[in-house]
Amino acid sequence: MDAAKTSKTSKAETGGQSPSGHPALKSQKIGVMLVNLGTPDGTDFGSMWRYLREFLSDPRVIELPRIAWYPILYGIVLNTRPKKSGANYRKIWNRERDESPLRTYTRSQSEKLAEALRGEPQIVVDWAMRYGSPSTKSVAERLVAQGCGRLLVLPLYPQYSATTTATANDKLFAALAKMRRQPAVRSVPAYYDDPVYIDAVARSIETHLASLDFAPEVVIASYHGIPKAYSDKGDPYYWHCLETTRLVRERLGWGEEKLITTFQSRFGAQEWLQPYTDKTVERLAREGVKSIAIVNPGFSSDCIETLEEIAVEAREIFLHAGGANFAHIPCLNDSPGGMAVIEALVRRELSGWV
């Protein structure tokens, strides 16, 4: 090897000069990625089919053996559920943007976080969905292409579950596994008991209840359910939910009968975490309770499960069973309180990087 080539190789190895044809190395930035569950691209059958197929094919969500589950999924579920789900999505669809509220709120959270961090020019904020678009893979690749050598990921689930936080991380790691040039990665842990989060939820409840023309006798903290078997195998989600309710109740100064915990959105025939939200709402009305409110502390943004399943379906169940007054308390969304939580978590986990 001649001297010129040796010199060039040495500079490349030490970072002084890239090999011929190698793309220029950009300055090291820090990517912050907000990740939410996901959303269909539209309410039509095809869009719902694609979204439900990706969601219900996730082995973290449905733990049945593929040989047992796929005939049910492709033979029954994906032939019937897209039409029903599409109709429900149309009830809450953001027609101005032609997208689901979850996408609207998650984008806004990302934009507002970027504005809050504008004093840190090395930080690039983006957002992704575990299911649907923008995909976790595409956003991770985009951040790396922008020169992000470090990546902080915030799964927007306050309580940890393998069906949410873990699968969001799985998707990211799968994308990283195909990258030759990987960034250093941190994932924000569950924040179900974080004081900033608890205070934000409590303040949201107080603010909304103050705007009502009735006083709820019972407030229900309704969380998305998971199969009981998952909890029995060690998923901490159930206990995280109970602890969130306890801390919010403590912050509000309420008794156990005033703020109760229930679980919604069960799917299939197996037993899910109880008590069930719909059954509880019906029972309360039949027992003579006339006024209730429901809050969803397990959702960072309003979505089909809160805007349709709770604000519409649960209301109908309660009123039909004899109730008189019903209120749904919005999620934190991109409100000042909600953004205070996201910013606090991100700034804390960026420690040592910024």
Q: Report DSSP state, residue 227.
A: B
**pLDDT tens profile 209-229:** 999 999 999 999 999 999 999
Distance, in Å, from the CA atom of 69 to the CA atom of 62, rounded to the nearest integer, reads 8
DSSP-assigned states of every residue in 65-98: -HHHHHHHIIIIIHHHHHHHHHHHHHHH-BTTTT
pLDDT, position 289:
98
Burial 250-280 (b: 16+ CB within 10 A, else e): ebbeeeeeebbbbbbbbeeeeebbeebbbeb
pLDDT, position 269:
85
Kindly state the helix (H) or strand (E) to which residue 239 belongs, with its residue range.
Answer: helix 237-252
pLDDT, position 282:
98
Domains, the chain, in order of start with CATH, read: 29-192+337-349 (3.40.50.1400), 195-329 (3.40.50.1400)
Q: Which parts are annotated binding residues for Fe(2+)?
A: 224, 305
Give the distance from CA 204 to its chain's centroid.
19
pLDDT, position 192:
98
Q: Which parts are annotated binding residues?
A: 224, 305
**pLDDT tens profile 271-301:** 999 999 999 999 999 999 999 999 999 999 9
pLDDT, position 11:
38
Q: Alpha-carbon torsion 219, 221, 222, 227, what sign?
A: negative
pLDDT, position 268:
85
pLDDT, position 249:
98
| % of the chain beyond a pLDDT of 70 | 92
Give the pLDDT of the chain (354 residues) as one tens digit per residue: 444 444 444 433 433 455 677 666 556 899 999 999 999 999 999 999 999 999 999 999 999 999 999 999 999 999 999 999 999 999 999 999 999 999 999 999 999 999 999 999 999 999 999 999 999 999 999 999 999 999 999 999 999 999 999 999 999 999 999 999 899 999 999 999 999 999 999 999 999 999 999 999 999 999 999 999 999 999 999 999 999 999 999 999 999 999 999 999 998 889 999 999 999 999 999 999 999 999 999 999 999 999 999 999 999 999 999 999 999 999 999 999 999 999 999 999 999 998
**pLDDT tens profile 84-125:** 999 999 999 999 999 999 999 999 999 999 999 999 999 999
pLDDT, position 294:
98
